[in-house]
Structure 1
Amino acid sequence: MARTVDGLRRLFQRCDTRINGYTKVKPLGYTPASVLVPLFYRDDAWHVLLTVRSKHLSSHAGLVAFPGGNADDSDIDEIATALREAEEEIGLPPEVVEIVAVLPQSPVRPSKIVTTVVGVIPTDFKPEINETEVHKVLHSPSPDF
């Protein structure tokens, strides 16, 4: 099991698009978006932090999700999008996130192309929920890496 951030990095290394020369694409008609997979180590296990989306949202209302959303013109890359969205949704300061990997893009309905960013957050992080986007925050131990 990977018990350190370096161990996680090694685990995700073969999938990290920053290392492997992966070519990003923006299919016609798709909106780029990013999500953050926030991990933290507690009680001898890695935990993943998840959100439950507000019920009144026009898409994915009430679903369990990673913090994230559509790219803005001001975002310099997929990491910036994921970090900005996590800060907007749950008050996670970007400077406390240690990026572990950027995974390949994936098409998601209805017409998004999503990049997954894996990051380690402080164990003692206390979410500040933006109730217009997030109903609640939860976490779960992840399977052994």
Structure 2
Amino acid sequence: MTETGAGIDHQIAALRRALQAPGAPSSDFDLNPGTVLPEGRKLREAGVLVTFVPGAGGLDLVLTKRSSRLKHHPGQIAFPGGKVEPVDDGPVAAALREAHEEVGLPPASVEILGTMPAHETVTGFLVTPVLGLVKDGFSPVAEPGEVAEIFRVPFDHVTDPANFRIEGRRWRGQRRLYYVAPFGPYYIWGATARMLRALAARMHP
């Protein structure tokens, strides 16, 4: 086995262990405990695919940059995924379907490693992070109009808590804090960074 192959096997084993570790649900409000959420609010179910693929130096995470023409979250960094539709059998199916549509990843090429506790977003979604491993070759194809770019981030960058920091900005008249994990020209922040920070915490308990 090559050194890279052994490293990938080690990373996959680490992901499996992390999924077995205890962890609480997360939300966009974790760093803002004073936020008052409306009682009886209804959250829409969604699933995102936290997809790892073999790279030259180990596993890489697949992320997208949303089109600047989109009405919601234009230009932001995101996982492939979306809301659970009637055709979906839950968040895992939604994540696989959306990944196929957004980045051209065939569902049959993905080995599902497991899921993490759902994450509540400020936009009213309850998002289940679905960890997946691409078993076959993957030639990404961006969905026109929705995905501006598909790129990879090294495993070590997104699974090390030291690569995350807290920043803030004004939102609805109040200062809101959130996690960021910038990588090169890509500003990974908000819900995407928070879910990755939860994974990193499980990797380094």
Rg comparison, structure with higher value: 2
Map of 1:95 onto structure 2:
108
Is residue 13 of structure 1 aligned with residue 44 of structure 2? no
Give the 3 Å change call, closer, same or farther, for CA 2–118 of structure 1 in structure 2: farther
Identity between Structure 1 and Structure 2 (%): 34
- The 5-angstrom pairing of residues 1-145 of structure 1 reads 3-4=8-9, 5-14=12-21, 28-122=41-135, 124-143=137-156
TM-score by length of 1: 0.83
How far off its partner does 1:6 sit?
Answer: 4.3
**Aligned-residue CA RMSD in angstroms?**
2.3
How far off its partner does 1:28 sit?
Answer: 3.8
Map of 2:178 onto structure 1:
none
Structure 1: tracts of 5 or more residues without a match: 18-26
Three-state SS of the structure 1 residue aligned to 2:19 is helix
TM-score by length of 2: 0.60
Which runs of 4 or more aligned residues in structure 1 lie more than 6 Å from their structure 2 counterparts after TM superposition? none
Tell me, yes or no, if the aligned pair for 2:7 and 2:58 is still in contact at 8 Å.
no
Map of 1:24 onto structure 2:
none
Map of 1:20 onto structure 2:
none
Q: Which has the higher helix share?
A: 2
Structure of higher RCO (CA pairs closer than 8 Å, 6+ residues apart)? 1
Question: Which whole-Å CA distance do the structure 1 matches of 2:122 and 2:69 have between them?
Answer: 19
Map of 2:180 onto structure 1:
none
Question: Which whole-Å CA distance do the structure 2 matches of 1:44 and 1:55 have between them?
Answer: 31
Structure 2: tracts of 5 or more residues without a match: 1-5, 25-39, 160-202
